């Protein structure tokens, strides 16, 4: 969308994503990402943490479901979305303004982890979750996965974008 301020933030989730349904039936998930800059201090020979930025984020509909099922407190994520500002009146009568990110894309950071991504049972996209590797079934018995895992690398994990030998290559 033209004219909107887009941002990309890399940081850690400060808590588990909070999934809820609005009065109109839409699904939304809210969470906070903490991003702390680090710089190297040559005098001390150590890395120094800067002031943390805490950004409140929200995702809607299918993406909300995927976030709630896939991510949890402490996970390092990459969030891309649009900055939005809204004002409201607090219970004490004071006027407040907050800035939050309306999430368009989110995923686990692979800097300190590995990921296994599989198609969701919905036709709208992909999802990744942290968890324990699941035993693989032979291809003839395997149905479409309803979720996926982000897990330590394993030789038994199948590539969801791998070439199926029954399909012609272009």
Q: Which of 142, 144, 107 is nearest to 128 (CA)?
A: 107
The CATH number for 26's domain is 2.40.50.140
134 occurs within a structural domain = no
Question: Mind listing the pLDDT tens digit for each residue in 9-54?
Answer: 999 999 999 999 999 999 999 999 999 999 999 999 999 999 999 9
162 occurs within a structural domain = no
119 occurs within a structural domain = no
- Per the structure, the count of domains in the chain is 1
Which H/E stretch holds residue 89? strand 76-89
164 occurs within a structural domain = no
20 occurs within a structural domain = yes
- At 66 the pLDDT is 92
Quote the pTM value: 0.66
- Parallel/antiparallel/unpaired status of strands 126-127 and 118-119: antiparallel
DSSP secondary structure of 5-41: -EEEEEEEESS--EEEE-TTS-EEEEEEEEE--EEEE
Give the tokens for residue 34: 């903490």
- At 122 the pLDDT is 55
Query: For residues 106 and 67, what is the distance between their CA atoms, to the nearest angstrom?
Result: 8
- At 112 the pLDDT is 86
Domain of residue 88 covers 6-108
25 occurs within a structural domain = yes
70 occurs within a structural domain = yes
Q: Helices then strands (H, E): number in the chain?
A: 1, 10
Regions in the chain scoring below 50 on pLDDT: 123-170
């Amino acid at each position: 969308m033209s004219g909107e301020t887009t941002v990309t933030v890399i940081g850690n989730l400060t808590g588990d994503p909070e999934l809820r349904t609005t009065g109109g039936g839409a699904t939304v998930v809210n969470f906070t990402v903490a991003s702390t800059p680090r710089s190297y201090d040559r005098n001390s020979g150590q890395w120094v943490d800067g002031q943390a930025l805490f950004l409140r984020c929200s995702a809607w509909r299918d993406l909300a479901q995927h976030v709630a099922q896939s991510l949890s407190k402490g996970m390092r994520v990459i969030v891309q979305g649009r900055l939005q500002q809204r004002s409201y009146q607090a219970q004490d009568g004071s006027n407040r303004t907050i800035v939050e990110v309306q999430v368009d894309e989110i995923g686990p950071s692979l800097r300190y982890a590995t990921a296994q991504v599989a198609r969701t049972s919905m036709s709208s996209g992909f999802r990744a979750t942290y968890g324990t590797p699941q035993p693989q079934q032979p291809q003839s018995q395997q149905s479409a996965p309803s979720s996926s895992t982000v897990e330590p690398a394993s030789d038994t994990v199948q590539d969801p974008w791998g070439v199926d030998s029954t399909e012609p290559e272009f």
